[in-house]
Structure 1
Amino acid sequence: MGASVGVTTMLAAGGALAEDETSRPTNPVIIVDEIMVTAQKRAENVQDVPLAITAVRGEALASMNITQPQQLSLIDPSVRFKQSLSSSASGLTIRGVGTSSFSAGIEQSISTVVDGVVLADPASLATLADVERVEILRGPQGMLFGKNASAGLVHFITNRPKLNENSGQLHLQYGERGEEVLQAIGNLAVSDTLALRLVATHNQRDGLIRNVAKDNAFTDPQDVSTLTLKALWRPSDDLTVYFSADRTDNDAFCCSSTWRKVTPGYAPAVTNARYGVVAGPKNFQVAANGPSQGKSTAQGGTLQIDYGLGEHTLTSISAYRSVKREAFYDGDLTTVSYVDTNGGAGKTDWLSQELRLTSPIGEHFDYVAGLYLFHSKASSLIRQRGQLSWITPATNGVVVPVIPGAPLGAIFETSTYNDINSTSFAGFGQVGLHITPKLDLIAGARVTRDEITLDYHRAPTPGAVYIPGSVTLDLHQEVDNTNTSWRIGPRYNFSDDIMAYATVSRGYKGPGFSGLSAANSLADQRVQPEIPTSYEAGMKAAFLDRRLIVNANVYSTTVKNFQAQVSDLTSATYSSRITNAGEIKTRGFEANLMARPATGLSITAGLAYTHARYADFNGVQCYFGQPKIAQGGPCSAPPATPTSLDGFFNAKGLSLAGVPDWVYGVSAVYERSLSPGLRGFFQANWNWQSDINYSISGDPGTIQKAYGLLGGRIGVSAPDKAWSVALYASNLLDKRYAAQITPSPVTALNPGGYVQYFSPDSVRRVGISLDVAF
């Protein structure tokens, strides 16, 4: 066992530990701290939950400088963030499964939940502040939580107001590249039964990418402000009322790109040469004449009421939220006016209501049962505007119109408007049968009814002509579905410290609409439900008097009717659409470790292996240079343009885009007293991933080689943590990596070229932080 633990410690990454020094006895017992979670809608020790779950306290997130959901891979190796062309189209993946879509009619496969409320727009959670803990649930989770958690769920639980306490916290952080973070938290005891909590934050930083054609202006700076007011009222032991209202203003463009590779003689190469831009994996410059702008506003409120009915608890969670956003960028990434404005704007409003009854954990039988209602309206605009001019080797650097006979300066534009109304009703429940003192059977089910409508509109813009292939269009379509999702499996307690479980789950992600590129009024925009089936077995164990905890699991998941964005074979303009692309299969194993080998020293570690492949995925666009069928390759030419440089094929057998096979890492925290009035602490974390291909087609030009990230924090504090000062660093080795690599947006504009997107963590950031509690 000692040898196994040693190897696991060296290989693994993933959860985090936090310890409450104020609660330590004079002679502390060295054990791993317990974390209580609500993964099954009741408070339980995470070691007793028969699910693959990572639970991390807010203090651990802060120590690793995790301020955005995109950074969760630092604490759970099975979680990745899939970057796209906009924040609304980007999203989390778990075990290789996730959704990347420009359409407001398709939701994410990974559900994002804040204090029990599902976010219809996960990107509206722009920053993390005042988080009590985060729970990451892997595999289908639609039985108990909200909707459309077909591949997993991330639940952020924030700190509630504390009764009979007047306190405050202040966090200041200053770092390289203009990084500034301010968090102010105040807790006010209004009476013995009522408390308020106010949270204000402001995060800003300089961008990474400069537009040399616009006076070296940053294209991707960040400026995010949030304000949250919470109230907790507990008039009796049986009744608790919790209210929260918040607003976030986000002035940031998430996804600025640069050229990774350009082809000589074409517009990008000519433009780069004029402005001194050198394409490559470390290129942080671009020369473009279009905009790089984005902003969003998110706001809403939540009311939760918990009422004790004897030993049972009746819970009601009511919520309303609204998000507005827009993002526009230069579609051709040059000073040539091809498509100078590409992007969109939208507004999503939603409300939800959950009512559930929770029984006490009894000797033979316990349960959770409830009802759920969700309604949303998403209105969106997708726009492309430009002059459709280009440069190719044949033009010798001269700008010419793409469309023969079209005068230079002619404005082409296509604008598409979507209104999508979605209503979902569900009844859910889970029971625990305690068959023997050691053997339990867990079974849960959810019946869901979805009703969705699409109103699609496209009309000409005064003063402009349609981009070729677009026509005036109005259509109305409807889709509905009734589904039963479920989970069942045994849990066996070998002892108080060792538990094993096995489950079979059938998940569900509801139907939706493409709404991107309808060619005519008969074009079917409906997308059918996505259905995963998952088998999982795991073990959770504590050793050495709970100084060491080791959790591990294996799984196998098949997703049928996988909802994906593909190129439209019927379109002459190579536009995209959402479809049921076929089937994917993912299997692997996960392990994490938490250890307290000595007083003041905590180690957390984890390892994930993911074998994720497309079992059937037709309609994938071939990468440039991939042989056609006539040349002995897989690619068939598009029907609209049989002589096109592009083609399409079935990606069966290829790895899922954006999924590394191996991810591991380790984090260590050491704390000790330096003097009676001073405490020192040190934290370091290392995360590594294997090669990753960002393209569905297996394009060799979209591979990001394996890399590792080193971060850390060192500082001093008062023994009671009334204050602390720390130096912090993320990506200390300054590893430049691409968060996304894609082929040139238009093959004919730059055949064989590639663009790339960088994460804010793609560069080193070193800074200083100050925390004060009073």
Structure 2
Amino acid sequence: MNVHVPQSGKRLLLSPISMAILALVAGTNVAHAAEPADAQAAAVAEQATPADASKITEVYVTATKRSTSLQKTPVAVTALNSAALDDNHVQTIQDVVNLVPGFSATGQGDHGVITMTMRGIGNDSAKTEYADPEVATFVDGIYSPRPEGATALLFDLEAIEVLRGPQGTLWGRNSTVGAVNMQTVKPEIGSNAGSFELGYGNYTRLGARGAFNIPINDTMALRVAVVHEQHDGYVAYQQPSLPTLAQQHAAADPVIAAWNTAHPGNPIGFQPLNQNLYVQGGPKYNAQDQSAARLSFLWQPSANLKWNISYEHYADRGTPNMNLLQQQRPGQDFWSALIDTAPSVKRDSHSVRSRVDYQINNDVALAYIAGYSRFNGSSTFDQDGGANPATSFTTAGAGSSGYQANNTVWSKYKNYSHELEIMSTGKRDVDWLLGLYYANEDNGIRFDIPIMNGTEQGTVSWQGSFIQPKETVDSTAAFGQATWNANDQLHLTGGFRYTSDERKNIGGTNNGWSNLDAPQIPVNPSMNPLGGGTGFSTYQHNDGVYKDHKLTGLARVSYDIDKNNMVFASVSTGYKSGGLQDGGVPYGSESLTNYEIGSKSTFLGGAVRMNNSAYYEKFKDFQFSAPVTYADGTRGLATSNAEGARVWGVETEIAAKITREDRVQFTAAYTNAKLKHLVGGSNDYVLPACTAPGITNPCLDVSGNTMPHSPKFSAQLMYQHSFALADGTLIPRISAHYETASWLSVFNLGEPDRQKAYTRTDLGLRYDANAKWYFDAFIRNAEDAKIKTSAMNANGPWQAQYLPPRTFGINVGRSF
């Protein structure tokens, strides 16, 4: 039996562009004679045999938990190898989305994380333990439950594989509409290969990374990989323009008189605005300062047994992304804000990932995959973004409170998982795989929201401290999939997964300001909202238990027309568990049924590949989550199950070698995503009084609206040419992304609540020397386009978060 094992240890950290493979759409069929996907089988890998320069190099994926040819694997999957990731300067999931049809990612400032939408379905609230994503993220096949893990630096990767459509049968939890699997580079026995790189760019960007393979003996090897990336923040600090003392008195004196009449035991007096309350120095918002290191170990005592284990540490000391005014105040730079809460992020994660592969005999293989991760973090964030400057120490313009911070005092989680798989190997009439899975999460968070009238000096408008010391998730599953290879052309696949989930909220409380006669100061980490004398009282307890279970499945037929063309059709279902919201109130699970047809073709003797898919999805019980204010003035996070949505679309991916020196890649997607019945509310938007029965907070009937982050049409075109020089190869490249307008929320509230159609162009120029060093220059967002990823108008003026402005830089590296 021959198992495909890529020679990952001999690969460059930044592979030459001439070997770049952006292999496109694939599927999820167990191909005839497919072999198990062990830890070395990357999501994308070149064949070990020399490539024909006139053909696109053959690509292998692990979408079916086996290593199979991309063109023989019928599910919509985009596979990006290390060269493609390097060419596009991919660091986070947000950098990946333009390379994948129907995929988008949204920055969430107050937690500094990224949420994902695929084929029009996602959840912008999936940024803490409160909500789970619809797009699951895996590293080396191990589920990463919290979005912080998905936004960690993507470094020393063999490949990223993005699977579109429900992947619950084989991949498991929360892969309702898709899954992203990242494969790290593994150690290689007998190899002394390594590489390092240094980079510099605008906004004082500094980058460094390196990877080294260390052979120990003929059965063991180590690999060490490190990375550091930093740049200054994009958002400048505005100088405050303070009203005159007379203007401040005119605004404040009536408010002071009313307060003192209502609170004779706690009077306040006039204070002039303190200019020092506005941040003018230090780290800026939208800054990066991230480091990571990974130590990987391989032990292969025999040809039939292999163990890969790794330890990874990730540290983030950057800053969150800021909400900017969409229409900046006169005389102010667009990339600036009036800030009264200094930004900070402190996140540390530790992860251990292990995989054991054992070939029991020529017909059966066993795999045991286990993972453990621990995370701790905190952050401070200026939620109001200076939208309404203070008119006095305790008043602000536009009738707003003026000052609001969203501060994660502490956040922590631990999770571990175990997965046992047994599968057939070799060429068989029936390929099969069976598995058992167990995962546990233990989450906790304290999240403070101080809202003050005017400035920090002013009186309390409202403030809350949400403390969830323990929230657990236990998930167990059994799954299986089999393919009957009826003949060399026809393949019939069926699969199932039974999942049982249990969630517990233990000791959680929502605490609000209830005593206006207490000291008028913003809540801060030194205050104990559960103790006395702070003005807080507990208005809600979140204890509860929720249990859920679901059987999901897959049925698929694929047909190989000839060795270069195949077609497939499938029906698959996805599921995401319900849970508990504030007050311990349960919400239900959501499910999706996906009907899909597709084709995969290779033309002109391997010079052109085209992969297509068309799908129709019935999405039921969409979990819509948002911060809300209740009739009694208390606040919380509310989740309701919408009736769902109907989504359909088509996707295409084309890769072509026009000549031996010219490469073209094209991806495109058309998406139509419409909500069914939903009455939604959110404190992030100004909404009318609710007329729907049983809803006390402002709301809007959004039935029939377009789902957010789902442009009707999007496309990506990349072209590169290789010039052979005396001592190396020079490769210029251009990559252009276009998409039509898309809404930024379910409310569809006009132009400020959507991103207009745009084009974004990235440019690159790389020189690969025969002496194994390289030079790579790049410009990203050459148009300097202002591309919104989220919007809000809770503070009056419309604000938004944006993708980075134009950035440029160079990287210089060497392999050995």
TM-score, normalised with respect to structure 1: 0.86
Paired amino acid for 1:685: S
Aligned to 1:74: 98
Matched, 1:54 2:85: no
Stretch moving more, 710-719 or 160-169: 710-719
Deviation by residue 1:78-119 (Cα, 9 ceiling, x = unmatched): 110023233466311110111221551321110000001100
The one of 125, 130, 134 aligned to 1:109:
134
Counterpart of 1:268? none
Which of 510, 528, 544 lines up with 2:604 in the alignment? 544
1:773 aligns to 2:808 (yes or no): no
RMSD of the alignment, in Å? 2.8
Q: For the structure 1 residues 439 and 192, does the alpha-carbon distance in structure 2 shift closer, same or farther, using more than 3 Å as the test?
A: same
Alignment partner of 1:610 is 2:671: yes
Counterpart CA distance in 1 for 2:231 and 2:634 is 38
- CA 1:727–1:226 in structure 2 vs 1: closer, same or farther (change >3 Å)? same
Structure 1 equivalent of residue 268 of structure 2? none
Q: Distance in 1 between matches of 2:569 and 2:429?
A: 20
Which residue identity is paired with 2:153? T
- Residues 1:120 and 2:163 are matched in the alignment: no
SS in structure 2 at match of 1:248? strand
CA distance in 2, matches of 1:688, 1:511: 36
Deviates most, 357-366 or 313-322: 357-366
- The whole-number CA distance in structure 1 between the counterparts of 2:685 and 2:467 is 32
* Among candidates 690, 695, 699, match of residue 740 of structure 2: 690
The 1:569/1:766 distance shift into structure 2, 3 A limit, reads closer
Q: How does 1:556-595 map to 2 (within 5 A)?
A: 556-566=616-626, 568=628, 570-571=630-631, 572=633, 575-595=636-656
Instruction: Kindly provide the CA deviation profile for residues 176-209 of structure 1, in whole angstroms up to 9, marking residues without a partner as x.
Output: 1111111011111111111100001100011111
Within the alignment, does 1:599 sit opposite 2:624 as a pair?
A: no
Instruction: In structure 2, give the amino acid aligned to 1:674.
Output: L
| Residues 216 and 88 (structure 1), Cα distance of their counterparts in 2 relative to 1, 3 Å cut | closer
Aligned counterparts of 2:174 and 2:428: Cα–Cα separation in 1 = 33
1:22 and 1:49 map into 2 onto residues whose CA distance is 20
* Secondary structure in 2 matching 1:508: strand
Equivalent residue for 1:139? 165
Compared with structure 1, are the counterparts of its residues 695 and 248 closer, same or farther at alpha carbon in structure 2 (3 Å cutoff)?
Answer: same
The answer to whether the 8 A contact 1:566-1:579 is kept is: no
Question: Offset of 1:624 from its aligned partner?
Answer: 7.5
Q: Does 1:358 align with 2:423?
A: yes
- The corresponding residue for 1:734 is 784
1:569-718 map, 5 Å: 570-571=630-631, 572=633, 575-620=636-681, 636=691, 647-675=698-726, 677-700=727-750, 701-718=752-769
Pairing partner for 1:414 from 464, 473, 476: 464
Q: Which moved more, 1:411-420 or 1:320-329?
A: 411-420
- Which ranges in structure 1 are unaligned for 5 or more consecutive residues? 1-12, 263-271, 391-398, 402-406, 519-523, 629-634
2:62 to 38, 55, 71: 38
With normalisation by structure 2, the TM-score equals 0.81
Deviation sequence 1:133-183 (CA, Å, 0-9, x none): 111000100111131100100001111011101121011111111111110
Mapping of residues 255-270 of structure 1, within 5 Å: 255-261=321-327
Range that drifts further, 356-365 or 36-45: 356-365
Deviation string 1:199-252 (CA, Å, 9 cap, x unpaired) is 011000111112224225512311000010001111100000101001000012
- Structure 1 counterpart of 2:561: 494
Alpha-carbon distance in structure 2 between the residues aligned to 1:638 and 1:322: 43
How has the CA–CA distance of structure 1 residues 757 and 216 changed in structure 2, closer, same or farther, with 3 Å as cutoff?
farther
**Unmatched tracts of structure 2, length 5 or more:** 1-21, 26-42, 239-277, 395-400, 524-528
CA shift for structure 1 position 617:
1.4
**Range with bigger deviation, 665-674 or 228-237:** 665-674
Is contact 1:570–1:639 with CA below 8 Å preserved after alignment? no
* Change in CA separation of 1:19 and 1:138 when aligned onto 2, cut-off 3 Å: closer
- Structure 2 CA distance for partners of 1:349 and 1:551, relative to 1, 3 Å: same
Q: For the structure 1 residues 437 and 81, does the alpha-carbon distance in structure 2 shift closer, same or farther, using more than 3 Å as the test? A: same
The equivalent residue for 2:114 is: 90
Task: Report the secondary structure of 1:607's partner residue.
Answer: strand
1:330 equivalenced with 2:382 (yes/no): yes
Match of 1:756 in 2: 800
1:341 corresponds to: 405
| Pairwise CA distance, 1:512 | 1.9
Shift of residue 416, structure 1, vs aligned partner: 1.2
Note closer, same or farther for the CA distance 1:415–1:29 as it changes in structure 2 (3 Å cut). Answer: closer
How many angstroms does 1:475 deviate by? 4.0
Displacement of 1:702 in angstroms is 1.2
**Structure 1 residues 23 and 734, CA, compared in 2 at 3 Å: closer, same or farther?**
farther
Q: 1:45 offset after TM fit, Å? A: 0.4
2 CA distance for matches of 1:487 and 1:759?
A: 37
Q: Helix, strand or coil: the match of 1:143?
A: helix
Structure 2 Cα separation of the partners of residues 502 and 690 of structure 1: 29
SS at structure 1 position matched to 2:97: helix
Distance 2:45 2:458 in 1: 66
**CA positional deviation for 1:19:** 9.9
Amino acid corresponding to residue 373 of structure 1 in structure 2: Y
Q: Which runs of structure 2 are paired with 1:391-410 in the superposition (5 Å)?
A: 408-410=458-460
1:156 and 2:211 matched: no
Alpha-carbon spacing, 1:737–1:216, altered in 2? closer, same or farther (3 Å): farther
For the Cα contact (< 8 Å) 1:623–1:697, is it kept in 2? Answer: no
Q: How big is the shift at 1:472?
A: 3.3
Does residue 64 of structure 1 match 2:116? no
- Corresponding residue number in structure 1 for 2:38: none
**1:132, distance to aligned residue in structure 2 (A):** 0.6
Quote the Cα distance in structure 2 between the aligned partners of 1:18 and 1:771. Answer: 23
SS at match of 1:288: coil
Within-5 A mapping of 1:167-182? 167-182=193-208
Kindly state the Cα deviation for residue 474 of structure 1 after the two structures are TM-superposed. Answer: 2.9
Q: Deviations over 1:390-418 (max 9, x none)?
A: 4xxxxxxxx8x9xxxxx944585311112
Asked if the contact 1:468–1:573 (Cα under 8 Å) also holds between the matched residues in 2, the reply is: no
Counterparts of 1:453 and 1:351, CA distance in 2: 17
Equivalent position SS for 1:605:
strand
2:576 is aligned with 1:509 = yes
Residue 717 and residue 478 in structure 1: after superposition, are their counterparts in 2 closer, same or farther (change >3 A)? same
Distance between the aligned counterparts of 1:495 and 1:20, measured in 2? 22
Number of the residue aligned with 1:7 = none
Tell me how many residue pairs correspond in the alignment. Answer: 703
Does the 8 A contact of 1:710 with 1:732 survive in 2?
yes
- Residues 46 and 60, structure 2, Cα contact 8 Å, conserved in 1: no
Q: Distance in 2 between matches of 1:654 and 1:154?
A: 28
Q: Does the CA-based 8 Å contact 2:199-2:208 persist in structure 1?
A: yes
Q: SS of the residue aligned with 1:362?
A: coil
Deviations 1:509-560 (A, max 9, x none): 1122223xx4xxxxx5212111111100000011111111111010011111
How far apart are 1:570 and its partner, in Å?
3.9
